[in-house]
Structure 1
Amino acid sequence: MNEEDLLKNYPRLYHMAEDASWESVVEHGLLSTTALLNLYKFEGEERRKLESERRPESVKILRDGLPVAVVRDQKPMTRAALEKCLTDGTTPEEWFETLNERVFFWLSKDRLRGLLGARAYRNKPQTVITLDTASLVGDHRDTITLSPINSGATIYRPVPRGRSTFMSIADFPFDDRRKLKKKALKDAVVELTVMGGVPDIEKHALAAHRVFKGIKAVLWRREGSDPSEGP
């Protein structure tokens, strides 16, 4: 995929975070689960369970001198389904670890809204961060990968996934997916991920909202950004 095509077709990125997390995200960065566990100095069995096993519920983590953080659940994914759809010898533990190394962004507002309306999340307020794709890619292209699927979901008919799921921008087969498989834009590239996370999130963000049952409240907006930027 040409970087120009990525920026032209997907000018905005969206991330759904825990409610009331915006100030902490600005201070510490939008961190992957692995990076968050490093920051909070989790080790041993406690860390293994969070990083290498499925999390059926969100987990609060604590450390002196740091705010309470939440490691989010993995409700849309099950180990049993992963055992059926993982390829190239990848184990469920390796897949959980692969996901936990990354921070995920939707490239489609429709997919964001689908997640906001999902049964597991619709009755809880969420923080939604809207980012400028060009800004993020400009600073983090070397740690960005793209996925053609919702890599953290195995409900309904889980599609195959494994070591080749996440690809660099240059290696992603965008034209093939658009032309040969006749994918809509929202399905051609499903996820953009950043390894480790985005420590300078405020530099790339356009707005942050608290969203609850369709009601959007502005938490922060970049000066000069369009009022329509958001979920």
Structure 2
Amino acid sequence: MKREDLVKIYPRLYHMAHDGAWPAIRQHGLLSVAALLDLYDVEGDRRERLLARHRPESEHLDAEGLPGAVIRDQKPMRDSALEKCLEDGMTPSDWYRHLNTKSFFWLSRERVWSLLGARAYRDKPQTVLTVDTAKLVELYEDQIWLSPMNSGSTIYRPLPRGMGTFQRISDFPFDVRKSQGRAKGANVVELLVEHAVPDVAAFVLAVHQVENDKIIREIWRSPEAAATDHP
């Protein structure tokens, strides 16, 4: 896939965070689990557990001088399902480590609304960022991976996954997948950035508080945002 095609086909990215997360994201950026643990100086057994084991519940991080942070649960994944779909000799622990070193974006609104309607998140307000794809890709292209699936879910029929699941933009087989009948929203599903996007606020166009199937309020909007920049 060409970089210019990625930007043209998916001009906006979306990230869902916990309610009230925007001030911390604006200050420290969008951080992977590993980057959050570095920032909050989490070491030892707790660090190993959060990086390499399934998280059945979200976990809060606190440190003096830092805003509170939340590491999302991994309710849509199960070790037993991962053991059946992992390739390349990977174990569930390997997969969790693989995911926990990356920051995640959705490439379609539909994916965001689907997640908001999931049992774990419905009836709970969330923060959704709308991000300018072109600006992010311009600075982070060498750190970006594309995923053909929801890599954090093993619900229903888990798709095979392994070290080759995430591919660089230039290696992603967009046209091949399109020729197989995959719609835009099911072609490139996730955009991942290695480790962190500390300056993500520079690419954010709008921030909304969302719950269930409704936008509750607009938290922040860039002067560069269009009227359509929302989840």
1:188 aligns with 2:150: no
Query: Which residues of structure 2 form unaligned runs of 5+?
Result: none
Residue-by-residue CA offset, 1:166-198 (whole Å, 9 max, x unaligned): 00000101110001x210000111100001121
Q: Which structure 2 residues correspond to residues 17-28 of structure 1 after superposition, within 5 A?
A: 17-28=17-28
CA distance in 2, matches of 1:227, 1:6: 22
Whether the aligned pair in 1 keeps the contact of 2:208 and 2:215 (CA below 8 Å) is no
Query: Which residues of structure 1 form unaligned runs of 5+?
Result: none
Secondary structure at 2:171 match in 1: coil
Post-superposition offset of 1:91? 1.0
Post-superposition offset of 1:63? 1.1
1:117 aligns with 2:126: no
Identity of aligned residues (%): 54
The amino acid across from 1:188 in the alignment is N
Q: Match of 1:197?
A: 196
**Structure 1 length normalisation: TM-score?**
0.98
Moved over 3 A (4+): none
Post-superposition offset of 1:215? 3.1
Q: Which structure 2 residues correspond to residues 72-111 of structure 1 after superposition, within 5 A?
A: 72-111=72-111
Secondary structure at 1:170 match in 2: helix
1:207 aligns with 2:180: no
CA distance in 1, matches of 2:67, 2:11: 32
CA distance in 1, matches of 2:196, 2:122: 25
The amino acid across from 2:183 in the alignment is A
CA distance in 1, matches of 2:68, 2:168: 33
Residue-by-residue CA offset, 1:31-67 (whole Å, 9 max, x unaligned): 0000000001111111111110010110001111111
Post-superposition offset of 1:119? 1.0
Q: Match of 1:156?
A: 156
Post-superposition offset of 1:123? 1.3
Q: Match of 1:2?
A: 2
Secondary structure at 2:170 match in 1: coil
Post-superposition offset of 1:204? 0.5
CA distance in 2, matches of 1:178, 1:142: 24
Q: Match of 1:169?
A: 169
The amino acid across from 2:175 in the alignment is D
Q: Match of 1:66?
A: 66
1:225 aligns with 2:221: no
Post-superposition offset of 1:227? 2.6
CA distance in 2, matches of 1:14, 1:215: 14
The amino acid across from 2:197 in the alignment is V
The amino acid across from 2:34 in the alignment is T
The aligned length equals: 230
Structure 1 pair 137/224, CA: closer, same or farther in 2 (3 Å)? Answer: closer
Residue-by-residue CA offset, 1:95-145 (whole Å, 9 max, x unaligned): 001101011111011111101111111111000000010000001101000
CA distance in 1, matches of 2:34, 2:4: 31
Q: Match of 1:133?
A: 133
Secondary structure at 1:98 match in 2: helix
The amino acid across from 1:205 in the alignment is V
Secondary structure at 2:123 match in 1: coil
The amino acid across from 1:182 in the alignment is G
